[in-house]
Structure 1
Amino acid sequence: MSADVWEVGDSYEAYVGRWSRLVAADFVRRLGVPDGRRWLDAGCGTGALTSAILTTGPARVTGVDRSRGFLRSIPAAATPVAGDAAALPFRDASFDAVVSGLALNFVPGPERAIAEFARVAKPGAVVASYVWDYTTGMRMMRYFWNAAAEVVPAAAQRDEGPRFPICHEPALRAAWAEAGLTEITTRAIEVPTVFAGFDDFWRPFLGGQGAAPAYLVTLPDRDQAEIRERIRSRLPVETDGTIPLTASAWAVRGVSPHPAEGGA
C-alpha cells in the first residue's frame, strides 16, 4: 500500500468506512454469486465488503489485508489473513469469487494484484472490484482537495484524482481484460453521503486515516484552518444543518475463463 496511512479502524470508519458499506451492499447484490461459495476479499480493510457478502446468505469468506489493525475489525464469521493483495498467500484456483473494495489504487502496480485475483480464482469464478471515482464522484474528497490546492499548491500532487489512474472506467475494463478475464462489465455506483453537520464532515479529516487526512495532519495549523473555512463556505447545507453529498464508485466484474477458453 502507499504511505496514506491505513491502520486505525475507528478513524477509517468515521472517514469513509460508513459510506463504503453502502457501496459494498449494492456491489454484492449485483454479482450473482450463489450461496455457500468460497469468497476472497482482497484488501478487506475493516470489513465493509466482507460484511455485505455475509448478509446475502451462507458464504465462506477470507479477508486479506496488510493492516493487522484493520483485520481486527472484520466480522468474526470471516477468516482474517495478513497478506499482500499483490502476492496472495493462496494456491491457484482456490476461490469461487474474488472481490476487492476500495483497495486497488493503494497497491503499487495494481495490475499485479489483478493478476493475483485471476490466479486464485477457480474457472468460472467471479472476479470483481470497485474503486472510488476520485476525479468527480467522491464529493467529500473533491471539496477537500480543491480547497487544499488553493491554500497549499503542492497539495495538487497528493490529489487522489490524478494520482490513481486505475480509478477510471476504461482503465478498469482494460486491466480486467489484460488479466485474461472474460464477460467484463462495468458500472457506476452512487450512494448518498449525508453529514449531520459540518463537524460530522470535518472531524474525520483530523483522524489521519486515508490520503486526505494523512496529508492534512502534516500541515501547519494555519493552513489547516484556512482549508477548513474554505470548505465550510462552499458546502451545501440544508435548513436542518445537514450536508447532503453523494459518493460514486466504479465497479468492474469479470469471469475467470475455463481452460478451453484460454486466459491469464
Structure 2
Amino acid sequence: MPDTSRHDAWVAGDSYDLYMGRWSRQIAPIFIDWLDAGEGRDWLEVGCGTGALSATVLARANPRSLLGIDPSEGFLERARAHVHDPRAVFQIGEAGALPVETGSRDVVVSALVLNFVPDRERALAEMRRVTRPGGAVGFYVWDYPGGGLGFVRAFWAAAAEIDPAAEELQENKRFPFCTPVELSALAERGGFVAVEARAIEAEAVFRNFDDFWHPFTLGTGPASGYCARLSPDTRRHLADKLAATLAPAQDGTLRFTTRAWAIRGRA
C-alpha cells in the first residue's frame, strides 16, 4: 500500500499561508458566527497552525482567553508574529495528547486539521476531555470528496496525467470520510451531543497563473510537498500543462469554489 502521507509537510508558516491559510481565513468568520459560542469564554484551538482561525476568534467572539496548540514550531512562530492579542497563547502540543487540564475550556475548535490526524477518534476524545460540561466544540475540514477545493483538484488532475502514481495521493482518495454524515458520526463517537453539520462556501481568486502556481512550489501541504519533490523538468512540464488547462477570466484571474464541511456540538 502506498504511503499517501509522505508529502504532508507542515513546517513553514509563511508557505502555508500562501498555499492554504489565506483560504481558511475566508471560511473562519462564517464558522465562528455559526458556532455562536458566546462571549467571555475560554477557548482552545487544536492545530492552530499560523493563527488564521485564532485571529478570527479574537476579532469576533470576544474570548476571555485563547490557547492555540500545534505540533509545528514554524507555524507557531508565524502565529505569534501575527497575533498580538494578550489573551492568546500559542504552544507546542499534539491533538492526541492535549497538554490541557481536563474540563478547563468552554469552547474547543479545530480548522482544516482533523483529516490529517492519524487517530481522529482519540483527538476528538481529547477535545471532549478538556471541554467543560455543556461547552461547545466545532471543527471544519475541506469537502474533499465533493471537490470542495477546486484549485487543488485541478493540480492533482494534471499531475496524474504526467505521473499516474499521483492519482492515489489526491485528497478525495485519502479522505473519503470528509462528508457531513461521516464527520457528524465521528463527533458523536467522540462523545459530543446535539451535533450539527453545514457547508461553508467561499471563492478562491488568484490574481494570475503565477499566484496560483507559486504556492505549489513551496513544499507545505500534500500537493505542494509533492510538487516540491519533482525534478525541475517535471515541475516545469506540470506547470505548462496547468497553464494550458486552466481558463482565466477576462481580467486574468483564476477563480475556484471552495467548500468546507463544518461540525458543531456540545460536551
Q: Please confirm whether the aligned pair reaches a TM-score higher than 0.5, indicating the same fold.
A: yes
CA distances 1:205-242 after superposition (whole Å, capped 9, x unpaired): 01101000101111122322222222222223111111
Q: CA deviation at 1:7?
A: 1.1
Give 2:75's aligned residue.
70
- The aligned residue for residue 261 of structure 1 is none
What is residue 20 of structure 1 aligned with on the other side? 24
Residue 116 of structure 1 corresponds to which residue in structure 2?
Answer: 126
Matched residue pairs, number?
A: 255
Runs of 4+ in 1 over 4 A off after TM superposition: none
Give the match for residue 95 of structure 1: 105
Which sections of structure 2, spanning at least 5 residues, go unmatched?
none
Matches within 5 A, 1:5-154: 5-59=9-63, 60-74=65-79, 75-77=83-85, 78-135=88-145, 136-154=147-165
Distance between the aligned counterparts of 1:244 and 1:218, measured in 2? 26
Counterpart CA distance in 2 for 1:62 and 1:127 is 14
1:197 maps to 2:208: yes
Tell whether the 8 Å contact from 1:152 to 1:223 is kept in structure 2 after alignment. no
Counterpart of 1:240 in structure 2 is 251
Deviations 1:61-81 (A, max 9, x none): 100000011111221321111
Q: CA–CA distance in 2 between the matches of 1:254 and 1:233?
A: 45
Structure 1 spans left out of the alignment, 5+ residues:
257-264
- The one-letter amino acid paired with 1:83 is G
Q: CA contact under 8 A between 1:165 and 1:171: conserved in structure 2? A: no
One-letter amino acid of the structure 1 residue matched with residue 60 of structure 2: T
**TM-score (normalizing by structure 1):** 0.93
Q: CA RMSD in A?
A: 1.2
Give, in whole Å, the separation in 1 of the partners of 2:177 and 2:43: 23
Q: Say which of 178, 197, 222 aligns to 2:233.
A: 222
- How far, CA to CA, are the matches of 2:113 and 2:89 in structure 1? 18
Corresponding residue for 1:262? none
Question: Does the CA contact (< 8 Å) of 1:134 and 1:141 recur in 2?
Answer: no
Contact 1:168 1:250 in 2 (8 A): yes
Native 8 Å contact 2:37 2:61 kept in 1 = no
Distance 2:175 2:197 in 1: 18
User: Percentage identity across aligned positions?
Assistant: 44
Q: Provide TM-score, normalisation by structure 2.
A: 0.92
Larger deviation, residues 75-84 vs 230-239: 230-239
Shift of 1:57: 4.1
- Equivalent-residue separation in structure 1 for 2:247 and 2:33 (angstroms): 31
Q: Which moved more, 1:231-240 or 1:107-116?
A: 231-240
Output the CA distance in 1 between the equivalents of 2:261 and 2:31: 10
